[in-house]
């Protein structure tokens, strides 16, 4: 039972509702009229279990997610029982299938004519035990709560959405590496794109690092010079494997959101023979801090922001953390390495909860890829 509860954290028990204000795909932030739902459009690249199906084993679409009025930041509202209602719950309000060419043309069209950070693309890669709808809802929530004004893209891989399918999900994630690499490289070739940010959760962080490692081996380490922030939330990656991946991926703007009280990653570590998971490290440990500093990685300790008993979805559940992610995405590229992006003043963390803490600053890296500190150290 404990194993099921902890490993199930990627999908459901900690998921709640959200509060933000985005009207359309890449649209400027705007609040709907009182009592109205908020439509958020996201481009979806869904890796299929059958690699020979669709466009290279990927189904493409443009999906509209309806965010209910009265949405609370850090949550994904859903029905306690019965069907979903647009006045109360997150809903899939529409879906338009696209070919791969239409998908890329659609992203390019939404980027055309934009300026500044509104030209950026945010690619979200979900974790273990996450259903397709949950992945779409989660990206819409992060876009709304983080006030992201660029174009959101979901890369969904075929998770079985079962707490008992950890190994099967790991195999599915492994099989999806090439398709994520292809998506990232093709997005990087769009003429109007600013930066391509990646937000990856849990097992999706391992998948993301593998795709970026492969892109580097193929000679496209920076995605045609467009790679922006790589944010790994509760990454389910062996620490030593991650450092090996960074040898290929770095220097890059990599931020790790870690919590020592993440129970899902504690169990993942046991399943892996008690090998430390990156998302559960204590970065105040001198040896760990030194290895991450050498790799040029920024670590944000969100231990005190954890929500629920499992504490595996803090990156999106905790108001101060999701706001800090939005602030990092909004930070201008090329500023000083130690620049801080302040947390949105309209988002107040829970009383008594410490803000996310940047535990350690990395060693100097390429100026164009300098990590951004997203929360003040205390």
- Grade residue 31 by pLDDT with cuts at 50, 70 and 90: low
Instruction: Please tell me the distance from the alpha carbon of residue 293 to that of residue 362, in angstroms, as a whole number.
Output: 4
Burial class from Cβ neighbours inside 10 Å (0-12, 13-18, 19+) for residue 353 reads middle
Taking the domain 2-369, which CATH number applies? 3.40.50.1820
Q: Is the pTM of this model over 0.85?
A: no
Tokens of 79: 């029905």
Q: Is the pLDDT of residue 42 over 60?
A: yes
Residue 353 in contact with residue 290, Cβ under 8 Å?
Answer: no
pLDDT digits (tens, 9 = 90+) for 85-111: 888 999 999 999 999 999 999 999 999
pLDDT band, very low/low/confident/very high, at 191 (cuts 50, 70, 90): very high
SS3 365: coil
Domain boundaries, the chain: 2-369
- Report pLDDT for 271: 61
d(Cα 11, Cα 209) in Å, to the nearest integer? 21
CA distance 34 to 71: 11
pLDDT band at 280 (very low <50, low <70, confident <90, very high): confident
In sequence order, which residues have a C-beta less than 8 Å from that of residue 186 and are 6 or more positions away? 104
Nearest to 92 by CA among 48, 129, 39: 39
pLDDT single digits (tens) 58-92: 999 999 999 999 899 999 999 988 889 888 999 99
pLDDT score, position 325: 92
Q: What is the CA radius of gyration of the chain?
A: 19
Dihedral Cα 183, 38, 115, 227, nearest 10 deg: -30
DSSP letters along 7-37, please?
A: HGGGTSTT--B------STTPPP-PPPTT--
User: Among candidates 106, 144, 199, 108, which has minimal Cα distance to 29?
Assistant: 144
Contact between 249 and 221 under an 8 Å Cβ cutoff? The reply is: yes
Q: In this structure, are residues 123 and 153 in contact, taking their beta carbons and an 8 Å threshold?
A: yes
């Amino acid at each position: 039972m404990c194993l099921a509860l902890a490993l199930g954290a990627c999908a459901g028990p900690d998921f709640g509702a959200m509060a933000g204000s985005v009207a359309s795909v890449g649209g400027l932030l705007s609040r709907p009229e009182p009592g109205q739902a908020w439509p958020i459009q996201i481009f979806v690249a869904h890796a299929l279990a059958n690699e020979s199906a669709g466009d290279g084993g990927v189904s493409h679409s443009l999906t509209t997610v309806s965010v209910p009025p009265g949405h609370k930041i850090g949550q994904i509202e859903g029905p306690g029982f019965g069907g979903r209602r647009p006045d109360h719950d997150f809903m899939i309000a529409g879906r338009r299938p696209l070919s791969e060419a239409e998908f890329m043309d659609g992203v390019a069209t939404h980027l055309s004519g934009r300026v500044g950070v509104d030209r950026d693309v945010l690619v979200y890669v979900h974790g273990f035990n996450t259903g397709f709808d949950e992945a779409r809802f989660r990206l819409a929530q992060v876009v709304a709560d983080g006030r992201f004004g660029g174009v959101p893209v979901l890369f969904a891989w075929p998770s079985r959405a079962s707490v008992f399918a950890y190994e099967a999900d790991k195999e599915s994630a492994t099989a999806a590496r090439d398709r994520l690499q292809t998506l990232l490289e093709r997005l990087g070739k769009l003429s109007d794109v600013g930066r391509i940010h990646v937000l990856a959760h849990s097992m999706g962080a391992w998948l993301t690092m593998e795709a970026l490692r492969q892109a580097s081996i193929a000679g496209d380490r920076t995605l045609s010079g467009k790679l922006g922030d790589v944010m790994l939330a509760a990454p389910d990656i062996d620490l030593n494997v991650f450092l090996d991946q960074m040898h290929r991926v770095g220097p890059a703007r990599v931020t790790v959101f870690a919590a020592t009280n993440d129970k899902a990653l504690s169990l993942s570590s046991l399943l892996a023979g008690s090998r430390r998971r990156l998302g559960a490290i204590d970065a105040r440990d001198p040896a760990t801090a030194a290895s991450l500093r050498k790799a040029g990685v920024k670590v944000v300790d969100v231990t005190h922001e954890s929500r629920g008993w499992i504490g595996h979805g803090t990156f999106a559940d905790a108001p101060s953390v999701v706001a800090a992610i939005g602030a990092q995405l909004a930070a201008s590229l090329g500023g000083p390495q130690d620049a801080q992006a302040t947390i949105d003043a309209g988002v107040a963390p829970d009383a008594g909860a410490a803000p996310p803490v940047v535990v350690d600053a990395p060693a100097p890296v390429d100026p164009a890829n300098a990590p951004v500190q997203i929360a003040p150290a205390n």
